[in-house]
Amino acid sequence: MNTDEQDVWGSADVSSGKDAGDENFPVGSLLISRRLRPHVHAYYDFARVIDDIVDTDQLDPPAKIARLDAMEAVVHGTRLAPHRADAQTAVRVGQTLRETGVPTTTATDLIVAFRQDAVKNRYDSWEELEEYCRYSANPVGRFLLELHGEDAGTFGPSDALCTALQVLNHLQDCADDLRNLDRCYLPRPWLAQAGASIDDLRGRHASPGLRRVFNQLLDRVDELNRRASLLPGLIRDRRMRMEAAVIVGLSKRLATRLRGEDPVAGRVKLSRADVLAALAGAVRTLV
């Protein structure tokens, strides 16, 4: 590897060490067939690493974008990757995409979002946030559907579900994102209209104005979840239908929890009872 290549990749392996157990929602769970599970894990590992690249404090924004560009080239097969954990995730996801025929954009669209995260830390409208989710979240659902051979009629409800999940995650992490990354996804005009400010996220509890903004976002999430409820009924693969039904149920339950709990005071999480209830509800999709 020449000096220019070393400069792009740097010396830091930014893998966070997180795995599927750190997520709210099942990733490559037992509901996915054993045959497809390795592909799902390859995709997840790649997504985790590029997320870590943009969130690390070891790289400045230009270095983050250069590293993301290099990862994208590896996925396309136009660049070699060094033999270390973070870079090799791009090799494996590229192999998965070539083996399965799933569109490469399901991986590279994620990089579009993370390049944006490297340079943009405030949002001025719901539409801006939706556009971000189009790249940061929606490709995940499309990857799973394409992997299972589902048709394009599933994409709309899947996009709604993935956008809902992304916004819920932003709400869960709103205080930590500001404190650790100086990043805030809450639309600034909504904050101003509610008599709140981004600095309210630095408090010990949500201010009344901040709570109103949370509820506005949850109103949008509820609408997305209503559209997402159509997804299981459109999926042909029995196991994938069950997986989708579980995730829709968990999304709805997390939205309900965020209505009643304060994400500024502490991270709002799903309970074991939430998971069991979502599983029970999903079983009905198989009848």
Question: Are 4 and 115 found together in one domain?
Answer: yes
Q: Which domain holds residue 187?
A: 120-287
- Around Cβ 153, how many Cβ atoms within 10 Å? 12
Number of domains in the chain: 2
Model pLDDT for residues 67-122, shown as the tens digit of each residue:
999 999 999 999 998 989 999 999 999 999 999 999 999 999 999 999 999 999 99
Domain boundary residue, one of 67, 97, 119: 119
Question: Are 38 and 127 found together in one domain?
Answer: no
Check: CB of residue 165 under 8 Å from CB of residue 137.
yes
Domain boundary residue, one of 97, 119, 141: 119
Find the CATH number of the domain harbouring 154.
1.10.600.10
Q: Is the pLDDT of residue 11 over 80?
A: no
Question: Are 143 and 71 found together in one domain?
Answer: no
Q: Is the pLDDT of residue 23 over 60?
A: no
Question: Are 134 and 161 found together in one domain?
Answer: yes
Model pLDDT for residues 119-131, shown as the tens digit of each residue:
999 999 999 999 9
Kindly state the average pLDDT of the residues 237-263: 95
Question: Helix (H, G, I), strand (E, B), or coil: what is residue 241?
Answer: helix
- Around Cβ 77, how many Cβ atoms within 10 Å? 14
How many Å separate Cα 210 from the centre of its chain? 23
Domain boundary residue, one of 94, 119, 144: 119
Question: Are 112 and 153 found together in one domain?
Answer: no
pTM (two decimals): 0.92
Question: Are 286 and 183 found together in one domain?
Answer: yes
Kindly state the average pLDDT of the residues 159-183: 97
CA end-to-end span of the chain: 56
What values do phi and psi take at 187, rounded to 5? Answer: -60, 125
Question: Are 172 and 91 found together in one domain?
Answer: no
